[in-house]
């Protein structure tokens, strides 16, 4: 919350069932925490001296995407101008696997053009993130 020049968004396919939306955002968030551990705050104590584990210190906007929009966005994110952004995608290729080794093997056999993206998380310079996602509406019920 102390880096006003940086921004984080998650764009999720709003046509997915609510459980898949929740799962997609959880997976993107877990990967974001792994890639940016410095963004996870310290543990805190409440007024009764109970400990609560640290949470991410930056806001994450949840944005409404579509199957086609996510596909186009992912293609744009491969461009060199966006190499400095942290980009995490979650696709049907990954979602269809029960163990990580299966995902590795399946990913190696499916061309990127055949992926269907369920969600994408982007973190980086606010101007660049806004260029990509600034006009997208918030994901709401």
Strands 6-13 and 61-65: parallel
pLDDT attached to residue 140:
86
* CATH, domain range 6-133: 3.40.1490.10
Judged against a pLDDT cut of 50, whether residue 1 lies above it is answered with no
The pLDDT of residue 134: 86
β-sheet with 117-125: strand ranges across: 61-65, 6-13, 117-125, 86-91
Does position 130 have pLDDT exceeding 80, yes or no? Answer: yes
More confident residue, 134 or 25: 25
**Mean of all residue pLDDT scores within the chain:** 94
Q: Tell me what pLDDT residue 49 has.
A: 98
Q: What are the strands, taking DSSP E only, across 1-127? A: 6-13, 44-45, 51-52, 61-65, 86-91, 117-125
**Residue length of the chain:** 141
Residue ranges of domains in the chain:
6-133
Q: Whose CA is closest to 140, among 56, 28, 21?
A: 21
pLDDT in tens, 58-105: 889 999 999 999 999 999 999 999 999 999 999 999 999 999 999 999
Pick from 17, 12, 5: nearest CA to 136: 12
- Give 109-124 pLDDT, tens digit per residue: 999 999 999 999 999 9
């Amino acid at each position: 919350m102390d880096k006003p020049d940086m921004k984080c968004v998650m764009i999720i396919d709003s046509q997915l069932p609510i459980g898949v939306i929740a799962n997609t955002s959880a997976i993107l968030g877990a990967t974001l925490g792994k890639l940016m551990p410095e963004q996870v705050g310290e543990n805190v104590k409440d007024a009764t001296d109970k400990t609560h584990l640290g949470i991410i210190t930056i806001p994450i906007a949840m944005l409404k995407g579509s199957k086609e929009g996510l596909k186009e966005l992912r293609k744009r994110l491969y461009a060199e101008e966006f190499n400095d952004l942290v980009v995490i995608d979650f696709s049907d290729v990954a979602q269809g696997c029960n163990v990580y080794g299966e995902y590795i093997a399946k990913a190696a056999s499916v061309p990127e053009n055949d992926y269907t993206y369920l969600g994408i998380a982007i973190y980086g310079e606010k101007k660049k993130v806004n260029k990509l996602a600034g006009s997208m509406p918030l994901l709401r019920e």
